[in-house]
């Protein structure tokens, strides 16, 4: 089986959020199961070319009434071959997203990716599109395979990693982007939506947790597309992301002050001390650390943290936050740190991977009070690192964290249900109550560390989906 995965992000090359971890890890897991997979990414200016080699000097394609020739690069760094579309005009922007012409940039990426697949000369069984940035490719593939023998047997899977980001733009642009005939597929409440077009045209849809697959069919979480998700629910599956344990494993993690494992947790203390030092906090190792790593957007529950900021400190814990995003939340973190510099440690910005690993290892509780969460990765990383997650029971957080039950001793974290600061606080307090009972705490830590969220199970579900999804509709 031959699969081409299109993604706007993949570690270690370009990362904004979880999609980057998922794109690489899925590829690797597919390869391990004998699937002939490949990955196609844009070549952003942040990607170091010295680790790549040129694959094709002049890949030809048609774009806006012209026939440009572009360079394609290749990397063998990942288990699966990775190709990069080199178009400086579109991808040398000093950032990955956020320009007014993002729809044009990624429509170009999709056009070039399909030209590349053709150039590779070996038909693919499935085109696996991810998020709105590859929605254009789904539309184009559906059109192409109707008259192009090379693609006649290619099926299209569209994966939704976050339904709230729909790639909206002015429908008038559809004509010059080459999608005038497919206007209906794109139109959504008066705008053109690349995500909607992808979801309309793909043969099957997936999303990143079973619970989220249900939630996006509701008005509350459907972001105006719940009707489409319900309409296509017989073609929509939820497959929870996994963890790449070669990267996220406290036993071997090279970024930690000390390694530790299920059998010997003692190194975690050194990691905690190291973390306190990194954030300039007093070396009070007995005091619990609550941590968060996330994009600073409303989705991640920062309004609850702001409402509860004072009460969180009243619990006696340290709070450590790593995040980049909306100025209002950056300002909040800064002012919180300013009033309590010895209790609140912050890093505003996108840190390299090492700091995220050091926080996972050094913290005691990991907070994810998300308004919604398609899957979430940090709660799974936390569990592996013996750091106990406190999460809101939504989407993948609900699917992957088991609430601790003191009577049976089962559970890997603490879950609250209402999107409410008081409910969140109650669970933080409950967590801290057990933190102060070392035997119970260790039990919760070990329950989490022993949980298997590896990619192999998820990859097998994708393979089954690739095999069983219907072809030409």
Whether the upstream peptide bond of residue 292 has omega within 30° of 0, thus cis, is: no
Shortest distance, position 159 Cβ to ligand ADP, whole Å: 13
Shortest distance, position 462 Cβ to ligand ADP, whole Å: 17
In DSSP notation, 379-402 reads: HHHHHHTT-EEEEES-HHHHHH-P
Taking CB under 6 A as the binding criterion, the range among 164-172, 274-282, 301-309, 349-357 that sits at the site for ligand ADP is 349-357
Shortest distance, position 306 Cβ to ligand ADP, whole Å: 18
116 binds ligand ADP (CB under 6 A): no
Taking CB under 6 A as the binding criterion, the range among 116-124, 137-145, 226-234, 376-384 that sits at the site for ligand ADP is 376-384
Shortest distance, position 17 Cβ to ligand ADP, whole Å: 3
- Cα(396)–Cα(387) distance, integer angstroms: 18
In the complex with ligand ADP, which residue's Cβ is closer, 111 or 357?
357
Q: How many residues bind ligand ADP (CB under 6 A)?
A: 17
Taking CB under 6 A as the binding criterion, the range among 163-171, 214-222, 350-358, 464-472 that sits at the site for ligand ADP is 350-358
Shortest distance, position 429 Cβ to ligand ADP, whole Å: 24
Taking CB under 6 A as the binding criterion, the range among 17-25, 134-142, 176-184, 214-222 that sits at the site for ligand ADP is 17-25
209 closest CA partner among 25, 399, 18: 399
In DSSP notation, 60-98 reads: E--BTTB--EEEEEEE-SSSS-EEEEE-HHHH-SSSSS-
18 binds ligand ADP (CB under 6 A): yes
Q: What is the bridge-based pairing of β-strands 82-86 and 69-75? A: antiparallel
- Cα(273)–Cα(285) distance, integer angstroms: 6
Figure out which of the listed residues 356, 388, 424, 425 binds ligand ADP, where binding follows CB under 6 A: 356
378 binds ligand ADP (CB under 6 A): yes
- Cα(379)–Cα(391) distance, integer angstroms: 8
CA 109-132-5 angle, to 5 degrees, is 60
- Cα(363)–Cα(240) distance, integer angstroms: 25
Taking CB under 6 A as the binding criterion, the range among 16-24, 102-110, 131-139, 260-268 that sits at the site for ligand ADP is 16-24
- Cα(456)–Cα(462) distance, integer angstroms: 10
207 binds ligand ADP (CB under 6 A): no
Shortest distance, position 390 Cβ to ligand ADP, whole Å: 14
For residue 50, the number of C-alpha atoms closer than 13 Å in the C-beta half-sphere is 0
Question: What angle separates helix 194-201 from helix 102-120, to the nearest 10 degrees?
Answer: 40
Using CB under 6 A as the criterion, what x/- string covers residues 288-327 for binding ligand ADP? -----xxx--------------------------xxx---
Shortest distance, position 160 Cβ to ligand ADP, whole Å: 12
Shortest distance, position 447 Cβ to ligand ADP, whole Å: 21
CB contact at 8 A, 383 and 448? yes
163 closest CA partner among 113, 125, 205, 203: 205
21 binds ligand ADP (CB under 6 A): yes
- Cα(387)–Cα(381) distance, integer angstroms: 8
Taking CB under 6 A as the binding criterion, the range among 15-23, 173-181, 195-203, 220-228 that sits at the site for ligand ADP is 15-23
Shortest distance, position 5 Cβ to ligand ADP, whole Å: 17
CB contact at 8 A, 148 and 142? no
In the complex with ligand ADP, which residue's Cβ is closer, 18 or 431?
18
Shortest distance, position 436 Cβ to ligand ADP, whole Å: 28
CB contact at 8 A, 242 and 457? yes
Q: Using DSSP, state whether 212 is helix, strand or coil.
A: helix
Q: Residue 400 is encoded by which pair of tokens?
A: 């992957």
Figure out which of the listed residues 377, 388, 391, 397 binds ligand ADP, where binding follows CB under 6 A: 377
In the complex with ligand ADP, which residue's Cβ is closer, 217 or 379?
379
364 closest CA partner among 437, 301, 300: 437
**What DSSP character marks residue 155?**
E
Shortest distance, position 347 Cβ to ligand ADP, whole Å: 7
In the complex with ligand ADP, which residue's Cβ is closer, 134 or 201?
134
215 binds ligand ADP (CB under 6 A): no
Q: CA Rg, the chain, in Å?
A: 23
6 binds ligand ADP (CB under 6 A): no
**Which residues, 6 or more positions from 52, have their beta carbon under 8 angstroms from its beta carbon?**
43, 73, 74, 75, 84
Taking CB under 6 A as the binding criterion, the range among 18-26, 126-134, 211-219, 460-468 that sits at the site for ligand ADP is 18-26
Q: Site residues (CB under 6 A) for ligand ADP?
A: 17-19, 21, 293-295, 322-324, 350-351, 356, 375-378
């Amino acid at each position: 089986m031959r699969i081409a995965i299109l993604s706007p992000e993949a570690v270690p090359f370009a990362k904004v959020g979880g999609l980057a971890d998922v794109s690489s890890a899925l590829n690797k897991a597919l390869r391990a199961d004998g699937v002939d997979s490949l990955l196609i990414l844009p070549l952003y200016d942040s990607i170091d070319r010295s680790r790549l080699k040129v694959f094709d000097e002049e890949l030809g394609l048609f774009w806006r009434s012209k026939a440009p020739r572009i360079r394609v690069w290749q990397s063998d760094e990942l288990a699966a071959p990775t190709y990069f579309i080199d178009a400086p005009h579109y991808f040398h922007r000093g950032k990955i997203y956020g320009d007014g012409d993002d729809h044009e940039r990624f429509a170009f990426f999709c056009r070039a990716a399909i030209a590349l697949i053709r150039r590779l000369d070996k038909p693919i069984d499935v085109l696996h599109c991810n998020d709105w940035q590859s929605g254009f490719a789904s539309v184009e593939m559906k059109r192409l395979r109707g008259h192009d023998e090379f693609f006649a047997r290619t099926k299209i899977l569209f994966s939704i990693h976050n339904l709230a980001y729909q790639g909206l733009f002015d429908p008038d642009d559809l004509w010059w982007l080459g999608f005038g005939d497919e206007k209906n597929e794109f139109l959504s409440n008066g705008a053109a939506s690349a995500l909607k077009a992808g979801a309309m045209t793909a043969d099957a849809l997936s999303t990143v947790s079973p619970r989220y697959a249900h939630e996006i069919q509701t008005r509350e979480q459907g972001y105006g597309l719940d009707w489409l998700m319900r309409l296509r629910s017989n073609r929509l599956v939820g497959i929870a992301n996994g963890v790449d344990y070669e990267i996220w494993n406290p036993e071997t993690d090279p970024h930690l002050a000390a390694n530790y494992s299920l059998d010997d947790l003692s190194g975690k203390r050194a990691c905690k001390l190291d973390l306190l030092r990194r954030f300039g906090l007093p070396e009070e190792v007995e005091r619990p650390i609550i941590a968060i790593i996330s994009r600073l957007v409303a989705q991640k529950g920062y309004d609850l943290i702001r409402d509860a900021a004072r009460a969180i400190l009243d619990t006696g814990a340290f709070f450590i936050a790593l995040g980049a995003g909306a100025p209002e939340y950056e300002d909040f973190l800064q002012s919180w740190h300013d009033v309590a510099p010895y209790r609140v440690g912050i890093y505003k910005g996108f840190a390299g991977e090492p700091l995220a690993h050091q926080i996972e290892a050094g913290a005691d509780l990991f907070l994810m009070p998300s308004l919604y969460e398609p899957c979430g990765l940090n709660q799974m990383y936390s569990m592996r690192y013996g750091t106990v997650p406190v999460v809101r029971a939504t989407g993948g957080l609900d699917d992957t964290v088991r609430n601790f039950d003191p009577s049976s001793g089962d559970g890997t974290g603490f879950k609250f249900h209402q999107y409410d600061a008081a409910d969140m606080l109650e669970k933080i307090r409950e967590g801290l109550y057990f933190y102060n009972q070392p035997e119970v705490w260790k039990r919760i830590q070990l329950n989490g560390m022993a949980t298997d969220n590896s990619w192999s199970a998820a990859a097998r579900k994708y393979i089954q989906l690739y095999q069983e999804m219907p072809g030409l509709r």
